[in-house]
Structures are given as structure tokens and as C-alpha cells.
Amino acid sequence: MLISSPSVSSPQTPSFDEQTILQSFVDIIPKTLNPAQKISPKDFTRNSKLPFPKLMITTISLVGNGDHNGVDIHLGKFFRHARRSGLWLSAEAIHRSTLSKARQKVSWKLFQETLQNAVLLAYDLWPDEPQYTWHGLSVFAIDGSKYTLPATDVLRQEFDPDSGLNTPGKGHYPQCLVSTVYDVFRRLPIARTVVPVNGSEREEAVQLVETVTPLLPFMPENSVWIFDRGYPSYELFHQFTTRHKRFFVFRCPASCTFPAVEEFVASGKQEAIIWITPSNKAMAKLSPRQRKRLNAIKVRVIRIEHPDGTLSVLITNLLNMVTFPRLQIVALYFRRWEVKG
């Protein structure tokens, strides 16, 4: 399921004070729950310690906490700061079981919508300064990871129906595949797909590149997209060079990969220009007419020797070796690790 995004006007960089910015983000939190979005008609119909908007804020705070303290410790800190700041004068600390029961009443899709609205606001407020680009290009990274979910019937059926101790080789908790687009220099997750655990990282990357770009009109056309070693494929290279015409940097294994890459590795060179052709497996999925449209793709390859002795190759369409020096591209690739996790 891909995050939806409302239409936005062209980006601006207004000057707001800190309190105004904070209030702008608070205003994003939904104040009421649409009856159609309720799991049960009785949900959030009575006064409680954790009404719907406060539940949303508490959950977002817990997820974005960043430390390794337990839920009870974080909840105590959160409610104490909420009272002291004056944002929630009547806040009373709750037990984690209260939060868990309340959270089951809210669809996970609401948090997706809230994330997207927060991203739109962040870009609207973000200053237009050169330190947030590389050679004047915005830089985005896509990463996919499996996440363990609460063992609710709804989530199990949605993402991992075969999970459960009754299935040999499966754990009790269901899992899902989360693919995220990060703005590397602004350190923002800007879009995300959440699909069943047996989903494909490459297919989700295609979905994100295809769909995120028109959904986020503030994203400049001149950009670089960074991918790890699980993503290289002729299909993605072709998509970037023909449909979107954006720059890419893929990390690729040094062996068991494209024949042209293996030849480059064997040459001992630090960098070179090569041509990537579709594999027989990829060609077999296409009609004769589609095959005629697939031409060899010109790319630049760069050798990377890691501290542990392993060897990788970066594949990119940043072909100009003067404008984009080899070592700068290597350093750019490793910037993605600063926002991964």
C-alpha cells in the first residue's frame, strides 16, 4: 500500500518562529476519527485518559523516541514533559497495556497519512540552502527492511497470513516488508510502502519511483537516487534512463552479477564506462515487440574496496568524470548509511 499525498502548491520558505513551527506540526494530528475509519463503532465514544488525538501523539512520540528505554519509562517521560510544557496540563501517565489496547482501535493507514502530511509541511518550511544538495542535486535513497508486527488478526491477515506457531518454520509474530525513500541530506523519510512480507524490494522500488515523483511535485527533477546491492537490475536502469531521466547510484556485488561488471572487476581498473544488457531471464518475460525496445545501457562503474577486504562496484549514470569525480561518488554512496535504520 503506497502512501497517498494531497496536492500541494509550489514550495516556499516562510520564516516561522519555533513555536509556530511546532504548532504547525501539532495541527497535522487528526482531531477526530472518521466513523468509516473506526474498527468498531463504539471506539473513542467515551471520555478516557487517552482520547484519539492524544493516542496519535503518544504513539508517534513513542515511535520517534530514538532511545532504547522501555515503553513504561518513555511514557512516564512523555507525560511529564507534556504537563511541564503546558501542551497537556491534565496528562496522566498510563500503563503500556492501556496504550496497547487503545492503539488496536486505530488503523495503521492513518499513521501513513500523518507521515505524508508532515513531510509536505517539512518541505514547505525547509530553507533552500546548498548544504541540502550535492552538486545542486537533491539526493534520495531507497531502503527495504522486514519489520515484526503485533500479533493481531488484522495485521496477520494483511501482511503475513502464514505466520504463527502452527506453521513450521514461522514465528508467532507476523512480519511485513517496508520500503522507504529518504531525503539523504535533509535526513527525512519522505515516502513509504508497506506490503506483505513476501513482497519484492525491487518491485516496491519501481512503485516508489513511479508514484512518488508525481505525488511530490516539490521534488526537483534533477536528483540522484541511491540503492544498495539488492536492487541492481536492468529494469531499474532502464526506468531511470528512459522514463524519469534522473541520476542513480547502485551498489552491486563484484561477482555473480552482470557479465560486463565481472569483466570490469577482472580488469583491475578503478573505474570505467561499460554497457549493461538485459539478461535472458528478463527478456523471457517480454513480448518480441518489447524486446526490440531494450537497448544496451551506458553506465559508469567504480570499484569499492571495503575495510573488511570485500569488493563491491558502484553502477551509475553520472558519466562525467570531471564534474563527478570517483571519490565524491563513493563518499555520496556512504552518506546513505547515515539515514538507514
pLDDT digits (tens, 9 = 90+) for 233-265: 888 888 888 777 789 999 999 988 999 999 999
Quick check: 286 pLDDT over 70? no
Quote the percentage of the chain above a pLDDT of 70: 83
Q: At what angle do helices 96-103 and 71-85 cross, to 10 degrees?
A: 90
Q: pLDDT of 48-77, one tens digit each?
A: 777 788 788 787 777 766 555 677 777 888
State the pLDDT confidence band at 5, using cuts at 50, 70 and 90. Answer: very low
pLDDT of residue 338: 66
Q: Judge contact between 96 and 72, C-beta under 8 A.
A: yes
pLDDT of residue 3: 37
Q: Judge contact between 180 and 191, C-beta under 8 A.
A: yes
Which residue's entry shows cell 527495504? 144
Quick check: 272 pLDDT over 80? yes
Quick check: 108 pLDDT over 60? yes
Q: For the chain, how many helices (H) and strands (E)? A: 12, 8
pLDDT of residue 282: 67
State the pLDDT confidence band at 298, using cuts at 50, 70 and 90. Answer: very high
**In angstroms, rounded to a whole number, what is the distance separating the alpha carbons of residues 154 and 150?**
10
* Cα atoms in the Cβ-side hemisphere of radius 13 Å centred on 265: 19
Average pLDDT, the chain: 81
- For 256: left if phi > 0, alpha if psi spans -120 to 50, otherwise beta; the answer is left
Quick check: 1 pLDDT over 60? no
Pairing between strand 311-316 and 247-253? antiparallel
Q: pLDDT of 181-238, one tens digit each?
A: 889 998 888 888 899 999 999 889 888 877 665 555 555 567 899 999 889 988 888 8
**In angstroms, rounded to a whole number, what is the distance separating the alpha carbons of residues 280 and 50?**
57
- Where exactly are the structural domains of the chain? 18-109, 129-141+184-338
pLDDT of residue 179: 92
Compute the CA torsion angle 183, 232, 179, 36 (nearest 10 deg). 110
Quick check: 135 pLDDT over 90? yes
pLDDT of residue 4: 36
Would you give the DSSP letter of residue 3?
P
Q: Where are the alpha helices (DSSP H) in 16-107?
A: 18-26, 52-63, 71-85, 96-103
